[in-house]
Structure 1
Amino acid sequence: MKYQGLFEPIKIGKLEIKNRYAMAPMGPLGLGDCEGGWNDRGIDYYTRRAQGGIGLIITGVTFSDTEVEKPSFPNTPNSTYNPVQFVRTSREMTERVHAYGSKIFLQMSGGFGRVTIPTNLGEFPPVSASAVPHRWLDKTCRPLTVEEIHGIVESFGKGAYNAKRAGFDGVEIHAVHEGYLIDQFAISFFNQRNDEYGGSLENRLRFAKEIREEIAKTCGWDFPVAMRFSLKSLIKDFREGALPGEEFEEKGRDIEEGIEAAKLLEKYGYDALDVDAGTYDAWWWNHPPMYMEKAPYKEFAKITKEHVNIPVIMAGRVDNPDTALDCLNNDICDMISLGRPTLADPDIVNKIRTNKLSQIRPCISCQEGCMGRIQTYSLINCAVNPQAGKERLNTYNPIVKKKRVLVVGGGVAGCEAARVLAERGHEPVLYEAAGRLGGNLIPGGAPAFKEDDIALAKWYEDEMTRLGVEVHLNTKATEKEILDKSFDAVIMATGSRPKMFSLGDDEKVYSAEQVLLGQKEAGNNVIVVGGGLVGCELALDLAQKGKKVTIVEALDKLMAVNGPLCSANKEMLEKLIPFNGIDVVTGARVTGFNNGVLTATVGEETKELNADSVVLCVGYASENTLYNQYKNELDEVYLLGDARQVSNIMYGIWDAFEVANHI
């Protein structure tokens, strides 16, 4: 087997795990019930990942304290609130997970403290180690009392005991990592206490030490306990994080102290370190967007592994099995942790084991279905996999009668519709006017940092072949095909077209698609009109290619109407704009472009900006002409994707799945 090294067993403490893959913890929002247990969605969700071959599942964050950060059910489970309910529902989950030979750890949190996302966890006053600013709210946190710390520690012992009773194979502590509450004690920037929990590193780690000892009291030292651990914080200041490659003064935990912390955590009895880097103040590090390189924690994991003798687990965009194997072979880490890739494809580990790499549905690191929805709606899903977090609800429906279905358009909506129809046993026939499938994935995936968009388009191409879907490229569907009585239903997924308007000298005014696909040469000095997601990503791509770029935006800030975007993606992109020397003019109304000069009105002032070209990124218009022309002549017809409403990849895929799964 090519990837044999990824499928060797490993031990955490005395617990043997069948392979080197863990499922990284991701907030289980929407997967709990009103009594602190797991709902059917949660049980199905984790069981499905075990079925897909993961060696160790680490649940998303759960709580044991019920006094300081009071539970707000059914957001996340709590192992002490109603122990009977927690054990009963957890037992059902762990038994199903164990049926597939997987092990499962409960991730237990000491609390969020200053990084509490208000929409998720209720209205309790924010707390922290000291009186420091909250990450999101205009509030100062209240320092925890010693009695409250002792209460949280005691709850860990009780919660871990309930987890052990429920069949969990161990727990992971959340965390000396990402700036959560226990990390707020560990980092001197947040901890200005002068009691036994402040001052020296040992004092600041006392909270973590006491948690490990309390769990040993209730569960024994043989019960495995891992620690989620960030070696380096990458904090420039409160709410200010550092970008990759940026020179700055570390205000949080630097590598030297991180090494000492790792050694102490091993000394305290932790059985593994689950390593990354960053904090909520530099959130893109802990939840790396597509703008972050693949496997960004390699340096931090390797340093950690060089200084401890317990297993090191590493997450962070390590979806490529060759990269994963190199990390093991080069002593960077001992296990690979996959979070978002297991949402995109729960079978990723089995597909790697059987070398079916072309069948792996890629994660595109958009974070719109996972972290974006967690932040905004307290739900965890996946943009490219509509079944994630909805395994039972969105199971493939059996068909009563096989139908022949015409699909017009080969963007994500058309491809997803055809894929789902074929999976269910229908006979889709797909027509695409362009020479390849993917629609807006193709120009959108042109920048180097959007490679996974191209991978998704390639995956759809491969799926059409695997499923035997009849595909007609370079072919526009005409009245003959649309009204062909051999089709039982028609799906119109004809996409959208970029909005364009005249500025005068229109020979040098282009669409983003024309520039991204290399159909037009933008020149060395480029003005991008429109500061939404498309405009900002295009500007970043051009700047990274050495162009001088200016973004001109009508609103008062960039990306004002995009969403819901995960804060990690949006904030990183916002900071990458000035970091890459891109100028920004906001509150500007463009009035013309002539003789290489763009004119724009900013307040009472008229600005003149020199440019070799202007690229319009001012949105898209639905292309629904065929639907409107024939909708009343067809018995069963559906309008999907941008043709119905201009949106994003996620809703194009989700809507297509919903419709195609019910034909």
Structure 2
Amino acid sequence: MSGASLVRPVVLRGRTAPSRVLFGPHETNLARDREISDRHVAYYARRAAGGTGVIVTEVASVHDSDWPYERAPRAADAVPGWAAVVDACRPHGALVLAGLGHAGGQGSSAYGQQALWGPSGVADAASREVPMEMEQPEIDELVSGFSAAAVLAAQAGLDGVEINAGQHSILRQFLSGLTNRRADGYGEDRTRLLREVLAAVRSGLDRDATDDRVLGLRLCADELAPWAGITPEQGVATALAVAGAIDYLVVVRGSGMSVFATRPDLHVPPGFNRSICGTVRSALGAAVPVVLQGSVVDPAFAQAALDEGIADLVEMTRSQIAEPDLVTHVRAGTPERIRPCTLSNQHSIVRDPRNPIVSDEAEPRAGHETEDPPGDSRTRTGRARRSVLVVGGGPGGMEAARVLALRGHRVRLMERADRLGGALLLTAAVGGRERMGVLVPWWERELIRLGVEVETGVEADVPELDAAERAGTGVLLATGSRPGPRPYMSDVPVLSAADFEAGVLAAGSAEAALDLPAGVVVVHDPIGDWTGVGVAEQVAAAGRRVAIVTRDAVAGVQLSRTGDLVPANTRLQRAGVVRELYSLLRGVHGGRAVLEHVWTGERREIDCAVVLDCGHRLPEDGLWAAHPDLPRVGDCIAPRTVYEAVLEARRAAAEFDAVA
């Protein structure tokens, strides 16, 4: 199979998928109770319409002992939803498979109010909860649960199922020496349970006398814990042991000790599983198609993996959340129009007590397909053209200009800086955040394609707005933000994070931007997001001594939402950054920063030559104050993320369109 075109059909067990691109299983929080909902249906159908070849639905629990997160689907409740997904995707040709699994000791007892199941009584690294060690009756129930779920999937008309033996999986826990310390047959041969489950699932799929339903397997081939966990060598051995029972294999990595490694954020280079996937593919030969997984976001990279025999199919899940029409654009020869995926995980990782809906910062319609929101950016025709002035060339301004132009209006965009991008350029200048910048050239290309008149290095003023309104031109403000007040006094230089990163861009490096007094650089981080951590890493890499001051128990506490909390603190430790925890910065005097403990009020001092302030920002709303009748979007309403700026830009453009 290797060497075939990414967008050409592929046959799996006699069933033809229209492309070799897979949309993999992931948490969405789209469920209604524990059912596959109408929101799921619209979400998957949109990716099918965009040309994806294989869709694997969100993993459904195969037994009542498993309820891993509040909105986790359950196979027993999923049949009507599965059938609806099949009906919605079938016109587009995509194969639809049910993700099936059991989280075991990585689950939660909060919802089912019963003990977790596991191969051994080993506490989970994250929850610290000890599961009940399964005896033969529970093992038999689990195997029967997988078989019954397969029967239900076949009854729903699905093309097959994918069994999860990767992250959050009891099957991986049985395969691993980290969690399987049994002395019985399931410990002596750790592949035994997986082989029994696959045999039972095949039997369940074939129960309706149809033997062409696809059986896929998501298999962890490296737990990144070589002292006891699954190693690549063991992963290959397991793949060989089960190759005759499956129709395709997805190679993944990670364990309960490294959940962040399965879908890491933008600090990890795309395509990180390429090597191990190639190793497994070489061992299997042509025995079973192998799927490359691991932050694959570039169609050219994906095609190269096929050409070089690394894989037979490629999973591109997050990139299709960001751009549902990815395959369509590749087929049309317009890959430059694919909306890039930043891999920031700010909206695509949703296994979170807040229960956020899966989405993407530059495509907020993702996950909200049933709502047909006012911010829908699809092209509109048959409307009166009108002139519009957009002030500000950050994410909000660029997206507003793009959508207005798509809707047929004549758009002029003014940006006071020398280039477009606004705060997104500064974000991408932070150490480790470079990938955030991939959105800027995409917007620039779209604005050129749509004929938007772009003026950079020009600052709009009140008379300009007055003149535009007198001429009947619509005006939309996207003027960004400015530094907020600082709750401390300092007699050493203080730079905001934005000013520092602007200096990095102007000077070409952090070293050049830090042409400031020698000594310790104190990074003031009252927010706890990626900014403070990234700035601290960047300054340390420039050779300066750094201390990051945070009121929280851990640096970058909000990074738990994107999966980067543990990696970020590991990077800080390796870089030699001193973490001043539970601390408030009260002032800097004579080269000494005064810190106050948030609980006790105890004060102490540390050396400080420069402060880089990563505190809150305020709207840059001077123009709006003079024209409060004008619509505004993004940070000039309230400084937040790209997601809110893009969403508000679409809504404002749609409202303008309705008025026009």
Equivalent residues in 2 for 1:609-624, closer than 5 Å: 609=607, 611=609, 613-624=610-621
State which of 432, 457, 466 in structure 2 corresponds to 1:449: 432
- TM-superposed deviation, 1:297: 0.5
The code of the aligned residue for 2:59 comes to V
Aligned CA distance change for structure 1 residues 530 and 353 (closer, same or farther; 3 Å): farther
Say if 2:483 is the partner of 1:498. Answer: yes
For the residue of structure 2 that corresponds to 1:41, the secondary structure is helix
Once residues 449 and 4 of structure 2 are traced to their aligned partners in structure 1, the CA distance between those partners, rounded to angstroms, is: 26
> What residue number does 2:242 align with?
265
- TM-superposed deviation, 1:601: 3.0
- CA RMSD in angstroms comes to 2.9
> What residue number does 1:243 align with?
none
Deviation by residue 1:108-159 (Cα, 9 ceiling, x = unmatched): 11x112222678x655443322222234434322233432332232232232
Say if 2:268 is the partner of 1:292. Answer: yes
> What residue number does 1:39 align with?
37
Equivalent residues in 2 for 1:137-536, closer than 5 Å: 137-174=127-164, 176-203=165-192, 205-215=194-204, 218=207, 221-235=211-225, 249-267=226-244, 269-308=245-284, 309-372=287-350, 376-393=354-371, 394=373, 395-396=376-377, 402-447=385-430, 449-483=432-466, 484-487=469-472, 489-499=474-484, 503-506=490-493, 511-519=499-507, 521-522=513-514, 527-531=521-525, 532=528, 533-536=530-533
Say if 2:601 is the partner of 1:601. Answer: no
Tell me whether 444-453 or 354-363 shows the greater mean CA deviation.
444-453
Aligned CA distance change for structure 1 residues 477 and 369 (closer, same or farther; 3 Å): same
State which of 68, 73, 76 in structure 2 corresponds to 1:80: 76
Normalised to the residue count of structure 2, the TM-score between the two structures is: 0.87
Say if 2:581 is the partner of 1:586. Answer: yes
Say if 2:539 is the partner of 1:542. Answer: yes
Deviation by residue 1:440-497 (Cα, 9 ceiling, x = unmatched): 1101112463233211011111121122223222122222332323346432221112
Aligned CA distance change for structure 1 residues 118 and 349 (closer, same or farther; 3 Å): farther
The code of the aligned residue for 1:530 comes to H
Say if 2:610 is the partner of 1:627. Answer: no
- TM-superposed deviation, 1:332: 1.7
- TM-superposed deviation, 1:359: 1.1
Once residues 498 and 168 of structure 1 are traced to their aligned partners in structure 2, the CA distance between those partners, rounded to angstroms, is: 54
CA contact (8 A) 2:329 2:338 kept: yes
CA contact (8 A) 2:494 2:611 kept: no
CA contact (8 A) 2:350 2:356 kept: no
The code of the aligned residue for 2:341 comes to C
- TM-superposed deviation, 1:361: 0.9
Deviation by residue 1:278-306 (Cα, 9 ceiling, x = unmatched): 12421221012111112111121011112
For the residue of structure 2 that corresponds to 1:568, the secondary structure is coil
Aligned CA distance change for structure 1 residues 255 and 102 (closer, same or farther; 3 Å): same
- TM-superposed deviation, 1:540: 2.0
Once residues 642 and 497 of structure 1 are traced to their aligned partners in structure 2, the CA distance between those partners, rounded to angstroms, is: 9
Once residues 485 and 145 of structure 1 are traced to their aligned partners in structure 2, the CA distance between those partners, rounded to angstroms, is: 80
Aligned CA distance change for structure 1 residues 134 and 487 (closer, same or farther; 3 Å): farther
- TM-superposed deviation, 1:534: 0.7
Deviation by residue 1:313-362 (Cα, 9 ceiling, x = unmatched): 01222212222222222222111100110000001122123332221111
State which of 65, 69, 82 in structure 2 corresponds to 1:90: 82
Once residues 403 and 117 of structure 1 are traced to their aligned partners in structure 2, the CA distance between those partners, rounded to angstroms, is: 55
Once residues 390 and 496 of structure 1 are traced to their aligned partners in structure 2, the CA distance between those partners, rounded to angstroms, is: 28
Q: Number of residue pairs matched?
A: 628
State which of 84, 104, 113 in structure 2 corresponds to 1:113: 104
- TM-superposed deviation, 1:4: 6.7
- TM-superposed deviation, 1:500: 6.8
Aligned CA distance change for structure 1 residues 507 and 602 (closer, same or farther; 3 Å): closer
Tell me whether 304-313 or 512-521 shows the greater mean CA deviation.
512-521
Once residues 436 and 117 of structure 1 are traced to their aligned partners in structure 2, the CA distance between those partners, rounded to angstroms, is: 49
Aligned CA distance change for structure 1 residues 426 and 591 (closer, same or farther; 3 Å): same
The code of the aligned residue for 2:504 comes to L
Deviation by residue 1:248-300 (Cα, 9 ceiling, x = unmatched): x5332112221211111214x01211011112421221012111112111121
Once residues 389 and 17 of structure 2 are traced to their aligned partners in structure 1, the CA distance between those partners, rounded to angstroms, is: 47
- TM-superposed deviation, 1:602: 5.1
Q: Which runs of 5+ in 2 are unaligned?
A: none
Aligned CA distance change for structure 1 residues 213 and 41 (closer, same or farther; 3 Å): closer
Aligned CA distance change for structure 1 residues 103 and 130 (closer, same or farther; 3 Å): same
CA contact (8 A) 2:524 2:585 kept: no
Runs of 4+ aligned residues of structure 1 deviating over 6 Å after TM superposition are: 507-510
The code of the aligned residue for 2:237 comes to E
Deviation by residue 1:507-565 (Cα, 9 ceiling, x = unmatched): 888743234324462158651422332111122233345544332334443224x47x5
CA contact (8 A) 1:185 1:197 kept: yes
Provide the identity percentage.
25
CA contact (8 A) 2:109 2:116 kept: no
> What residue number does 2:564 align with?
569
Once residues 635 and 589 of structure 2 are traced to their aligned partners in structure 1, the CA distance between those partners, rounded to angstroms, is: 33
- TM-superposed deviation, 1:179: 4.2
Once residues 478 and 122 of structure 1 are traced to their aligned partners in structure 2, the CA distance between those partners, rounded to angstroms, is: 60
CA contact (8 A) 2:118 2:170 kept: yes
Aligned CA distance change for structure 1 residues 451 and 349 (closer, same or farther; 3 Å): farther
CA contact (8 A) 1:26 1:59 kept: yes
The code of the aligned residue for 2:37 comes to N
Once residues 355 and 614 of structure 2 are traced to their aligned partners in structure 1, the CA distance between those partners, rounded to angstroms, is: 28
CA contact (8 A) 1:231 1:253 kept: yes
Q: Which runs of 5+ in 1 are unaligned?
A: 236-248
Aligned CA distance change for structure 1 residues 373 and 404 (closer, same or farther; 3 Å): farther
Equivalent residues in 2 for 1:630-641, closer than 5 Å: 630-631=627-628, 634=629, 637-641=630-634
The code of the aligned residue for 1:577 comes to L
Aligned CA distance change for structure 1 residues 259 and 553 (closer, same or farther; 3 Å): same
Tell me whether 325-334 or 357-366 shows the greater mean CA deviation.
325-334
For the residue of structure 2 that corresponds to 1:182, the secondary structure is helix
